[in-house]
Amino acid sequence: MPADPGRVLRRSGLAGRAGFSSVILDRGRQREIMVLDELWAALSGASGAALACCFVAVAIALRWSGRRTARGKAARARQRQQEALETMDKAVQRFRLQNPDLDSEALLALPLPQLVQKLRSGELSPEAALFTYVGKAWEVNRETNCVTAYLADCETQLTSAGPRRGLLYGIPVSLKECFSYKGQDSTLGLSVNQGVPAEYDSVVVQVLKLQGAVPFVHTNVPQSMFSYDCSNPLFGQTFNPWKSSKSPGGSSGGEGALIGAGGSLLGLGTDIGGSIRFPSAFCGICGLKPTANRLSKSGLKGCVYGQVAVQLSVGPMARDVESLALCLRALLSEDMFRLDATVPPIPFREEVYTSSRPLRVGYYETDNYTMPTPAMKRAVLETKERLEAAGHMLIHFLPSDIPHALETLSTGALFSDGGHHLLQNFKGDFVDPCLGDLISFLKLPRWLKGLLAFLLKPLLPRLTAFLDSMKSRSAGKLWELQHEIEVYRNTVVAQWRALDLDVLLTPMLSPALDLNAAGKAIGAVSYTVLYNCLDFPAGVVPVTTVTAEDEAQMEHYRGYFGDIWDWMLQKAVKKSVGLPVAVQCVALPWQEELCLRFMREVEQLMPCEKRPS
């Protein structure tokens, strides 16, 4: 067919140029246009179809090659995990042969403060404590798959230890995998990070060692840590120690499972949306999310850096509140203030933690966003009654505008780049089912996110609000969002102070959800994410377990919206009789000692089984 000059000119980029005239079309340019037209005609025929098929084939081949690489890295990660577990077992067997008279069960039963006392006095050796817990961790891992690596130089640390000093002298401590440890990978469950060992210890790990503690294992996390479940393609699924069909929570899920089953006395986790509090609640232990900058974050491995509107916190996880307090005492030392000058040099305020004055306690039974399960509501009301009977003043208080804080402020802050930086970590990798539809949503172009949000809003208002907030935004819009968060924090603080509150008692999502349900029940993060947005310290304490009556009442649970998130939550918490249920304790920023004091009060008034039978 004869060429259409206008079409060719448009294709060649010449049409529409100012001053264009036929005079410019010299012979060279005419030949160029003829070549372009012939090329276009060729691409429009059978050879063009063949070329298109080649492009598709290349794309498929590249995708297959990437997946093949990911499979290889997953195989290597699991091989290293298995080798680490074998090393643990051999070390324990060797120690037991040399120390046949050691009563391991008695040692494992010791609370942290008593174990510290026996280690410092010399009644027990650090070797006895370490290898007893290495052995227990190995046993726990067989049921829960919570350990990803053995930090084998812990044995060297014992032989090179100096005098018996440090608040955590001789105490084995477990670490969430994101804490950099020299010579060890921090994969975050992503193949891109496999085989990339850390060059140095993170600051909090250095401080732990200076305080005499002995870090001994890394524990599992969900892929990318953007989930409150705990599974990834490298190390697989971690299971709840109370019931294997249930999630241990996330993203510090390996820590929750290990400590909850007695394989560790004390661990460190991180929290940007509930990642310390979910595993603690699901596994029946205690956990504290401090104010974001109270403890050093230097040296932590992450997927997204530079997002500061809603910040990550480092915090302790343990069987009881006193262990959390002891860990915080040790970390809030001159060592940390020296190693990380960005951390405010505020030592642990003992007088606040040990105070016995009556407290003015705010409380709410529901945030009117996620309907509490019957067990959650009962836990708050029973705790309220015990606190009142103990002489504390309870005042109803619900922070304002919670839906806006969740859907617009928190989600908008976490995904202000449209998820671009997070998605970079998934190139050529598999996406774990625990993430639900998050990665698929983030991959949508900005215009499509907006269109879907508009079309689905009448049917799924919560989902569409989250989707709309996941759109990328300009620097100016990000600054506006950060200012909105500042204004919101100031508003809630003013409301709090108007009632002269000391602390706040809230529900905590529990019991544990089914495996892989978290990614389909995103709205249920409302009880935890709020206090990341506000940057208030918040901790959880187990106070009861699910009863048969609680279970029966769940049959009538519909949620406040009747949407897919409510439906999934109702389904995911069934068959939970006997599982732990927690409450959340909150204080104003930089008041970790007061938060812990309140948690200790709740723990003493609401004694609860902490470990699975």
Q: Which residues are catalytic?
A: 176, 251, 275
Strands 266-271 and 172-176, sheet pairing: parallel
SS3 516: coil
Encoding tokens for residue 272? 């940007």
H helices present in 212-333, as ranges:
253-260, 277-283, 321-331
Cβ-Cβ contacts under 8 Å for 605 (sequence gap 6 or more): 383, 386, 387, 390
SS3 541: strand
> What is the enclosing helix (H) or strand (E) of 542?
strand 538-545
**Sheet strands (E) in 272-423:** 286-289, 313-318, 360-363, 393-396
Nearest to 300, CA basis, from 329, 275, 279, 278: 275
The alpha carbon of residue 562 and the mean position of all alpha carbons in its chain are separated, in whole angstroms, by 27
> What is the enclosing helix (H) or strand (E) of 215?
strand 214-219
Cβ-Cβ contacts under 8 Å for 409 (sequence gap 6 or more): 309, 310, 481, 484, 485, 488, 533
Nearest to 274, CA basis, from 295, 256, 299, 294: 256
Nearest to 91, CA basis, from 130, 46, 142, 41: 130
Whole-angstrom distance, CA of residue 44 vs CA of residue 46: 7
SS3 520: helix
- Which phi and psi (to 5°) does residue 16 adopt? 90, -5
Helices (H) and strands (E) in the chain, counts: 25, 13
Q: Give the DSSP letter string of 551-586.
A: HHHGGG--TTT-SHHHHHHHHHT-S-TT-EEEEEEE
Counting beta carbons within 10 angstroms of the beta carbon of residue 186, is it exposed (0 to 12), middle (13 to 18) or buried (19 or more)?
Answer: buried
Encoding tokens for residue 334? 């001159």
Rg (CA), the chain: 28
174: amino acid identity, one letter = S
Strands 172-176 and 214-219, sheet pairing: parallel
Whole-angstrom distance, CA of residue 405 vs CA of residue 273: 12
Counting beta carbons within 10 angstroms of the beta carbon of residue 430, is it exposed (0 to 12), middle (13 to 18) or buried (19 or more)?
Answer: middle
- Which phi and psi (to 5°) does residue 314 adopt? -100, 135
- Which phi and psi (to 5°) does residue 174 adopt? -95, 155
Edge-to-edge strand ranges of the sheet holding 147-150: 147-150, 214-219, 172-176, 266-271, 313-318, 286-289, 538-545, 580-586, 503-507, 360-363, 393-396
* Residue in this structure with the two tokens 């007088």, named with its chain if needed: 351
Nearest to 184, CA basis, from 171, 202, 172, 203: 202
**Sheet strands (E) in 400-531:** 503-507
